[in-house]
Amino acid sequence: MGLPRFNPKGLAVSAFVLVAVLAGVWVTGHNSPLQSHIRAGARAEASGDYETALKEYNLALEASPGNWDVQARIAQVRLDRKEFKQVDEMLTALVNKDESRGKALYGLLTQALLGEARQAIDKGPQSSSTQAMTFLERALRYSPDDREVKQLMAKELYAGAMRMPPNQSIALDMLKRAISLDPNPMYRLELAYRYLTLGRKTTYALSQFRVGQILWAPDSSRLLLSQPFQGEPADGQTRLINSSGEELTSFKTKAAITYIGWNAEGKLLAVVYDQSYFYRRPQLHLVSVNEQTGALSPAPGSEMTQASGAYPGLSPGGKFITFTGPATGSGRWGELWVMPVDKSAPHLVSTNGAFLGWSGPDKMVFADVTDLVDHAQTGMIRKSRIGKVTEITIGD
């Protein structure tokens, strides 16, 4: 039997494969230069030694050119060093190179763009603000739901609108977009003011309209304007205008309506009194209001049988109502109550409180009232002083 033939070509191939496998272990294994440098860089980064961390991560990148994980680590260190422009350029190049893999870097890129925007804002001039908006527009494309990006954009849009005359349409557009990004009450009220001061025929009449209440629909598409309440409940006029300042409808509110608001679906609601005079602890009722005629109809599931008091206030979305009444055992009107409109379980918030407003759909702000002087018979307040201001979240 003959000996097997020696195949030097096959041996060469096997040796090449063996070297390649060993080389792969040397590059990516636990004790490889790549992993050693990554571990050293991570330790330095954790201790705040960013210079050493960058040095180690760059050595890791030399051991594994183009490694995305290592480049992400480098980007994070540069973000910590506030090198936002360098991170922007580096990550934008990677995202443009491979958009699919680049999605994992959107968060880091957004932070870099936010940093660049803030640096531009800090410079002050209007041209810098325009540059900041460019960075923020890019950040919004990468992270459309990022709250920080939207709030900063809205703030810049509002600031830009405030530098313009009230009747400029571009200012209105800026305020509308600011509200769409961040429904800050300050932005919404500013837009309402702009509509009221416009020189258009549709809004000129509104500028002569005595406004007691300004309230945006939940989606900011419509603005409610009602006349101020004076004395006993009486007929009053309510107007609705759209986001272009054009009047949609106008109707007379019926007697005993003192407060009109919106529910979460954008339907009009109103709080009405019974036959009693408002500071004699009357019964409160919640009704639906027809936007075209002002006609009232019962609001389903909102009997509010235990809601009796004065000065009612609906929360944004119409889920809760506040009202005031005499403090227990006295003739003073210091009690502040809150209750869900679909239940009959009011909660006493304060025995000497004054309702200041709603800071959110379920957050109310009130203040302690001191030095309160009431007329013994009527409960009319002669003077008061606002004390500590408190914000609370209302539970179901």
pTM value?
A: 0.54
- The residue with tokens 């406004």 is 211
* pLDDT tens, position by position, 271-281: 877 655 545 56
Domain boundary residue among 145, 173, 207? 145
Per the domain annotation, does 126 fall within a domain?
A: yes
pLDDT at 19: 32
258 and 385 share one domain: yes
pLDDT at 93: 93
Do 227 and 236 contact (CB within 8 A), yes or no? Answer: yes
258 and 384 share one domain: yes
Task: Give the span between the Cα atoms of 259 and 148, in whole angstroms.
Answer: 34
Q: Which helix (H) or strand (E) holds 170?
A: helix 169-181
Which tokens hold the place of 202?
A: 């549709």
Q: Could you say which residues of the chain have pLDDT below 50?
A: 1-28, 199-207, 231-234, 278, 329-331, 376-379, 381-382
Amino acid at the residue 196: L
pLDDT at 353: 80
262 and 379 share one domain: yes
Task: Give the span between the Cα atoms of 356 and 354, in whole angstroms.
Answer: 6
pLDDT at 264: 80
Per the domain annotation, does 187 fall within a domain?
A: no
Cα–Cα–Cα angle for 319, 275, 289, rounded to 5 degrees: 40
Number of domains the chain contains: 2
pLDDT at 199: 41
Domain boundary residue among 91, 126, 145? 145
Domain boundary residue among 124, 145, 166? 145
141 and 258 share one domain: no
Strand segments (E) across the chain = 213-216, 222-226, 236-242, 247-253, 257-262, 268-273, 284-289, 296-298, 310-314, 320-325, 335-340, 347-350, 353-360, 363-374, 381-393
| CATH number, residue 109 | 1.25.40.10
Per the domain annotation, does 115 fall within a domain?
A: yes
CB contact set of 253 (below 8 Å; sequence gap of 6+): 226, 235, 236, 237, 238, 260, 270, 289, 294
Per the domain annotation, does 302 fall within a domain?
A: yes
Q: Per DSSP, what are the bridge partners of residue 308?
A: 283
Per the domain annotation, does 245 fall within a domain?
A: no
Per the domain annotation, does 352 fall within a domain?
A: yes
- State the residue range of the domain holding 363: 254-393
Query: Strands 335-340 and 381-393, how do they pair?
Result: unpaired
Per the domain annotation, does 152 fall within a domain?
A: no
pLDDT at 27: 46
Per the domain annotation, does 370 fall within a domain?
A: yes
* pLDDT tens, position by position, 370-387: 655 555 444 454 455 667
